[in-house]
Amino acid sequence: MTRILFVDDEPNIRDGMRRMLRSMRNEWDMEFAESGDAALLTIDEWRNAGKPFDVVVSDMRMPGMDGADLLARVKEISPDCVRLILSGHSDTASIMKTVGTAHQYLNKPCDPELLKRTIKRAFALRLLLRDEHLQKVVGQISSLPSLPVVYQEVMSCLQRPNASLGDVAKVIGKDVGMTATLLKLVSSAFFGLSKPVSTIERAVSFLGLDTLITLVLAQGIFKEAAQIRVPGFSIEALWQHSLQTAGAARVIAAQEGLDQTTLDDAFLAGMLHDIGKLVLAQSMPDPYAEVMRQTGNGYAATAEQELLLTTHADVGAYLLGLWGLTDAVVEAVAFHEHPGAAPTEALGLPAIVHAADRLARFPDQADPCSGQLRLDTRCLEQFNMSERWPIWQSAWARHLAGGEK
Ligand SMILES: [Fe+2]
Ligand SMILES: [Fe+2]
């Protein structure tokens, strides 16, 4: 049973929630609290009874402790708990208070189906990551680090009196950490967007310059990368590889005649596909140093599975799912190392990101069956990759030469 705590100071909203979620009572163990203080007591009681909550859904505006303060406390005492905030549109300013504490934001009044889906999805992700220590580590991450040079560039861009959204988007798009952090914020249902946002241009223009300035300069949502104590691990190299994979994924999707939304998703999934490596290197430097020693900058997933009992693909997908990014992107990240195992029949994003990763690493490798590439054998057969490889390869070469956007 998934254990969920709902917190709202208005009795009729709590009653409404109870009614609306009655159908879930065989799957969910639900509890309702009327304030932040009452919620903390309940969390404590249930924890002492050996039944910690899996999900806390809190209202934002409440007398006394507000939703942001409550979730900050929950993050401290129970970091693996999924934290959702419910808020009204007029609360755009106060929602900014929760950027470091809530995993996702839902709009009030909340559509019951959306609430059910969000909770079920967040919980299903745990199957990807069974290690409780890692669930806690990933649950606490509120943003991904940025390369210092790009961070400085964004800062000075935002402080310029004549800064334009286009300029800012261009700089943010050069950094994996900032892209992920901003899409986390804008992907949430709070903003009531009809279509998911998968480009940084849309995310930035949606937020507007003033909100962006507040988020970056006052709230400090972007962070410069700190030194990682893993010999041979370089965040610069990882971000560089991610950007190249993103570009190659878009080129492949374009060659396959896929639509613009898929092209954008392919780019984003390529950019984020290896972020689990950063999480692992940061959170378990010693074991990860052994992974690096065995694999260098090569294919780490097998050594990760052996030494850490998980892979960067699972960790990355878990984080992005928790942050509310689309299923398409989460699935591509989860399966990018073994796309043949993905539940898709056609050439989909997992296979595209997989091939893009190889293309980014070995742009000159002409033989798709070469052991160096280690292309997924099921994919090679199923999606005719042997024939497609030379086409993708020359398109990527043209792209690198600047001949194609
Ligand atoms: Fe990877
Ligand atoms: Fe990769």
Q: 312: CA distance to ligand 2 center in Å?
A: 10
Q: 298: CA distance to ligand 2 center in Å?
A: 9
CA 357/CA 195 separation, integer angstroms: 27
Q: 353: CA distance to ligand 1 center in Å?
A: 9
Q: What integer pLDDT is reported at residue 326 of this predicted model?
A: 86
Ligand nearest to the CA of 243: 2
The per-residue pLDDT for range 71-92, each reduced to its tens digit, is 999 999 988 899 998 887 556 6
Confidence of residue 237 (pLDDT cuts 50, 70, 90): very high
Q: What integer pLDDT is reported at residue 134 of this predicted model?
A: 84
The pTM of this model reads 0.85
Q: 238: CA distance to ligand 2 center in Å?
A: 8
Amino acid sitting at position 270: G
Identify the CA nearest to 83 among candidates 154, 141, 127: 141
**Domains in the chain and their CATH numbers?**
2-127 (3.40.50.2300), 148-224 (no CATH), 235-400 (1.10.3210.10)
The per-residue pLDDT for range 11-21, each reduced to its tens digit, is 999 999 899 89
Q: What integer pLDDT is reported at residue 192 of this predicted model?
A: 61
Q: 245: CA distance to ligand 2 center in Å?
A: 7
Ligand nearest to the CA of 244: 2
Q: 147: CA distance to ligand 2 center in Å?
A: 18
Q: Residue 75's Cα: distance from chain center in Å?
A: 18
pLDDT of residue 322 exceeding 90, the answer is: no
pLDDT of residue 248 exceeding 80, the answer is: yes
The per-residue pLDDT for range 81-132, each reduced to its tens digit, is 999 988 875 566 666 777 778 888 888 877 888 888 888 888 777 777 878 8
Q: What does the buried/exposed string (b/e) look like for 237-257 if buried means 16 or more CB atoms within 10 Å of the residue's CB?
A: ebbebbbbbbbbbbbbbbebe
The per-residue pLDDT for range 250-283, each reduced to its tens digit, is 999 999 999 999 999 999 999 999 999 999 999 8
**Could you tell me the end-to-end alpha-carbon distance of the chain, in angstroms, rounded to an integer?**
49
pLDDT of residue 404 exceeding 60, the answer is: no
The per-residue pLDDT for range 153-192, each reduced to its tens digit, is 999 999 888 889 999 999 999 999 999 998 888 877 556 6
Q: What integer pLDDT is reported at residue 258 of this predicted model?
A: 95
